[in-house]
Amino acid sequence: MSRTPDVERSAQRASRSALKTTALVVGVIAVIAILFVLSVGSGWLILPQEGTEEPGQVASNPPEILSITPSTDRIVPLSTVAISCYVSHDDVGHLAYEWSSTAGELRGSGSEIQWVAPDAEGLHRVYVRVTDLHGGIDELSLALFVRSNTPPVIIGMYAEVDDDPGWVIPGALIEVYCEAVDEDGDDLVYAWSATAGVITGRGPSVTWTAPDETGLHWITVDVTDGYDGSARRAIPVSVSRGEPPTILGFKLEPINTRQFEPYDDGWVILGEKSCSIEVLVEGDDSGFTYDWQSDRGEVVGDGPIAVFEAPPTGTSIIVVRVINEMGSEASGSVRIGTWSFSCCG
C-alpha cells in the first residue's frame, strides 16, 4: 500500500529531528572530550598521588642558624652579655630554642637571651639548638672569652700658658693636656671639669678659660675605658691680677719610714707614714703667707714647710698657695702615691 504525501512528509520531519538530536549529543561529547584533554595537559586536573601530604600539612625545610651574636666581645667576670640567635626558616615564629653553656648563668628564652659570665677568667661556650614543628633541627655554639679589665693609667696632666704654668690673669686661655694609657687597648673617654672658668673641647686636650675670680682653681679629668675602669687626676691653677710669687719647686724628706722615693711625676710612700714638704719660693719669703691643702691624707703647715701623713692606700695631691703682700698668689702641687704593706713585703 502506498503512502500518502502527508505521511511521507511527517516521516521525513521525524528523521531530520532524530539526526539533529544525534548530532547535538555527539557535539557535546566531543566538547567534553576536548576539555578533558586540555585540562590534563594544562595542569587543571590534580589527581591524588602516592606520598603527598594530608590536607593542612605544610612542607618545610629544616631551620638554619645563620649566626649567634654577642652584644660585646669584651667580657669581664660577672658581667651580663646579650646574645642573639639569627635563623633562616619558612616559619620563624614557630621555632623552639634550647640554650646551654659550659659556665655562667643563662637568663631568658627564645632567640635572644642574656648570659652572666662566671667570676673567673677563661674561655667558655654557649650552645643553642633550634627545632621546628616538623622535627627539623640545627645546632651552633659561640665561644666567649672572659678576662678581667685593667683600668687606664694617667701618666701626666699639664696646664700651660706662656712661660708661667702656675698662674694666669683673669680671662686667660690655657691648654690643658692629659696623657693616659690603657693596657687592654680600650678606647678612652675623657670627662673634664673645673671649679670655675669654662672648658671647651674634648679628648685628651682641652682649653680652659680662666674666670674673673682670683684665687686657686682646680681642673679635673676623669678617664674611663668603657668597662668600669677609670682614673682621675686634678691640677690647681692660680688666677691673679698681679705678678705672683715664683715657686721654684719642692723639697721632700721622709720622717718615719725608709719607704719613700720618686716615682713617675711624683713620689711614693709607705701607707700611714709621714714626710716633710718644703716649697721653694724665689726671693725674700718673709712677706708671704702659705695655705696647705690635700685631697687625701693629712697635711699640716702654716709656713713654707708642712708635714704630710699618707692615707693607707690611694694617691694624694698636696697643694700649697703662696700669697704675697699685694694679694697675688701662686700655687704648686705634689703628687704622692701610697704603698701598701703587702706590696712592700
Distance CA 241, CA 327 (A): 9
Local confidence pLDDT in tens for the 345 residues of the chain: 444 555 455 555 555 665 556 655 556 566 565 555 454 444 433 334 343 344 444 446 899 999 999 999 889 999 999 999 999 998 888 999 999 999 999 999 999 999 999 998 999 999 999 999 999 999 999 999 999 999 999 999 988 865 555 678 899 999 999 999 999 899 999 999 999 999 999 999 999 999 999 888 999 999 999 888 999 999 888 888 888 888 999 999 999 999 999 988 899 999 999 999 999 998 876 789 999 999 999 999 999 999 999 999 999 999 999 988 878 888 899 999 998 765 443
Question: CB under 8 Å to 97, separation ≥6 — which residues?
Answer: 85, 109, 110, 111, 128, 129, 130
Under 8 Å between Cβ of 250 and 280: yes
Taking phi over 0 as left and psi of -120 to 50 as alpha, with beta for the rest, 30 belongs to: alpha
What is the rounded CA–CA span in Å between residue 49 and residue 328?
Answer: 104
| Residue 287, pLDDT score | 83
DSSP helix/strand/coil, 342: coil
Predicted pLDDT at 264:
84
Structure confidence at residue 15 (pLDDT): 56
Q: How many C-beta atoms lie closer than 10 Å to residue 101's C-beta?
A: 21
- Quote the longest CA-to-CA distance of the chain: 175
Q: Which residues of 134-162 are buried (b: 16+ CB within 10 A; e: fewer)?
A: eebebebebebebeebebbebeebebebe
Distance between terminal CA atoms of the chain?
154
Specify which residues 232 forms β-bridges with.
222
- pLDDT for position 56: 43
Strand order in the sheet with 298-300: 247-254, 274-281, 305-309, 298-300
Angle at 292 between CA 288 and CA 294, to 5 degrees: 160
Give me the residues paired with residue 98 across strands. Answer: 129
The pLDDT of residue 341: 61
